Structure 1
Amino acid sequence: MNQNYNNAVGNNADVDLGLRSFMLGTYRYMAMAMAVTAGVAYFGGQAIQANPQLMGILRNPILVIGFIFAIPFIFAGVGRKLPTMSIGGVQAFLFGFAAFMGIFMSAIAAFVDPMIIAKIFFMTVAMFGALSLFGYSTQRNLSTFVKYAFAAFLAYVGLGILGMFFPSLSPFAGGVFGTVVLIIALAAISLITAWETQMLKQVYYGNAGNPAMEGKLAAYGAASLLLAFINMFQILLSLFGRE
């Protein structure tokens, strides 16, 4: 009996070490992708300052709406093909997506005080880290609640789109209405972030012992976490980034 117990403990320790390695790999990918986003945003911001007409392209409603609607389809498409994709293909998706996000973050880099960007960035890092730790350690199944978070976040995105045509409905216009919408959106993306971390644990356990698939899932998960981080950053910037 003691031998069986020791074997069980040993197996659990191996799984935990594997999970730790998988999660660290995911966050390493995310950090590298974030660096790509920041670099593209910086140089894009410099280009906008030199050629202000570029701002009109980034704020084109058709382009922005197309990008917003493309994101879930792109993620779903890559997710379906993940088992047959190479690790290089998934990495290309991750860093290509990070660069594309950097293009849309260029407007922030061009016109927002770098000190404010730094303040909100570190605020986002602290919040994101706390939520990831919660999602990793909690025993409660967050899937029960996350559907409401997705509904709330989609409503926020919908108001953002309407705000391009009807500025009074924009959550970024300020005022009590905009602040309430942003707070709800922040709560929604916070729960989504914790849930995504919990889901990463589940997909790891479902693919433990398959190093090739684990590597692809780490890169794919990093892209999803990067999107959550950027959304959180933008909401916090709208709430606390005013000079």
Structure 2
Amino acid sequence: MSQQFQNPPDRSALRDSFASHDPGSDQRLRQYMLQVYNFMVAGLVLSGLAASLAIATGFYQQIAGTFAIWLVMLAPLVAIFFLTIRIERLSLGAAQAIFWIYAVLMGLSLAGIFLVYTGTSIAFTFFIAAATFGAMSLYGYTTGQDLTRFGSFLFMGLIGIVLAGLVNLFLASSAFQFAISVVGVVLFTGLTAYDTQRIRDVYLESDSELVAGKKAVIGALTLYLDFVNLFVMLLKFTGDRRR
């Protein structure tokens, strides 16, 4: 992706210019961020519906334990890589469509949690995740503190828990999984604030409607991933398993 999608402008310059921002500029920024959040929430709703439908129809139960389940698990990765790599060449409509497809695929891949955990514990954990995400995203959006200094630490932590998760596939240690979940909750809590600030700062007043729309899709995808991972990590040590 080009620099306009990855690197926000200099933050010191942004802080110096805040006082000179006109109300129209602030309004455009709020509209952009609202678009990001709307896409993210709609994606979560779509994922929840896809997961519920997959369980209600028995589709997930039929493919569980077969090779098809691996296709369902890997399909979201294919969609996300395609979207992030091809975002500049895609039309805005195509980028949004891929985001919706990704949300459905993620819902299918996460449907199994309804078979493992009770509905009450899933709802309770979702509420905790939503409250935590909302508070940290609000902090990331409003704070004047530069959070980029935590970027390297958060990225290394993300790589660490991915590798630890792969190792635990072979160890199957519940204690190790508990530790991964605790670290994961802390990590994705921090990433929520960091990513929100980055999404806010990458927006430029000079962006065309097309560019701003694509940035909103990528931003929604980023926050969607932060929320889903935070929810899953919380669920692994707060969720009540079905007997």
Band the TM-score falls in, shorter-chain normalisation: 0.7 to 0.9
2: CA distance, partners of 1:69 / 1:158: 16
Residue 219 of structure 1 aligns with which residue?
Answer: 217
5+ residue gaps, structure 1: 1-7
Task: Report the AA paired with residue 194 of structure 1.
Answer: A
Aligned equivalents of 1:55, 1:41: Cα separation in 2: 13
Aligned to 2:9: none
Number of equivalences: 224
**Which has the higher mean CA deviation after the structures are superposed, 139-148 or 66-75?**
66-75
Q: Which moved more, 1:115-124 or 1:141-150?
A: 141-150
Query: How far did residue 60 of structure 1 move?
Result: 5.9
1:242 shift after superposition: 2.9
In the alignment, structure 1 residue 231 sits paired with structure 2 residue 229: yes
Q: Partner of 1:4 in structure 2?
A: none
Q: Which residue matches 2:240?
A: 242
- 1:80-108 per-residue CA deviation (whole Å, 9 max, x = no partner) reads x32x4211011111101101100111101
> Is the Cα–Cα contact under 8 Å of residues 80 and 102 in structure 2 kept in the other structure?
no
Runs (4+) off by over 4 Å: 8-11, 58-64, 66-72
- Cα deviation for residue 28 of structure 1 reads 0.8
Normalized per residue, which structure has more helix? 1
The whole-number CA distance in structure 2 between the counterparts of 1:158 and 1:118 is 29
Q: Secondary structure at the match of 1:56?
A: coil
Aligned Cα root-mean-square deviation (Å): 2.6
| Paired position in structure 2 for 1:180 | 179
Counterpart Cα distance in 2 of 1:46 and 1:27: 28
CA distance in 1, matches of 2:60, 2:100: 26
What residue in structure 2 maps to residue 133 of structure 1? 138
Q: Which has the larger radius of gyration?
A: 1
Q: How many angstroms apart in 1 are the aligned matches of 2:60 and 2:150?
A: 45
User: Are the counterparts in 2 of residues 146 and 191 from structure 1 also a CA contact under 8 Å?
Assistant: no
For the pair 1:55 / 2:61, whether they are aligned, the reply is no
Over residues 134-169 of structure 1, what are the superposed CA-to-partner deviations in whole Å (9 max), with x where a residue is unaligned? Answer: 11011222121122112112221222222223313x
Question: Aligned letter for 2:188?
Answer: I
| 2:146 alignment partner AA | N
How far did residue 76 of structure 1 move?
3.4
**Matches of 1:239 and 1:233, distance apart in 2:** 11
1:150 touches 1:188 (CA, 8 Å); kept in 2?
Answer: no
Instruction: Provide closer, same or farther for how the CA distance between residues 59 and 165 of structure 1 changes in structure 2, counting only shifts above 3 A.
Output: farther
How high is the TM-score relative to the length of structure 1? 0.81
TM-score by length of 2: 0.81
| Mapped contact 2:92–2:214 kept (Cα < 8 A) | yes
1:2-41 matched pairs, under 5 angstroms: 11-41=21-51
Q: Give per-residue Cα distances to partners, 1:15-48, cap 9 Å, x unaligned.
A: 1111111111111111111111001110112244
* 1:131–1:190 CA contact under 8 A, matched in 2: yes
Residue identity (%): 26
Say whether 1:155 aligns with 2:167: no
1:76 aligns with 2:84: yes
The C-alpha deviation readout for 1:173-216, integer Å capped at 9, x for no partner, is: 2x3x43332211111111111111111111212x5452221122
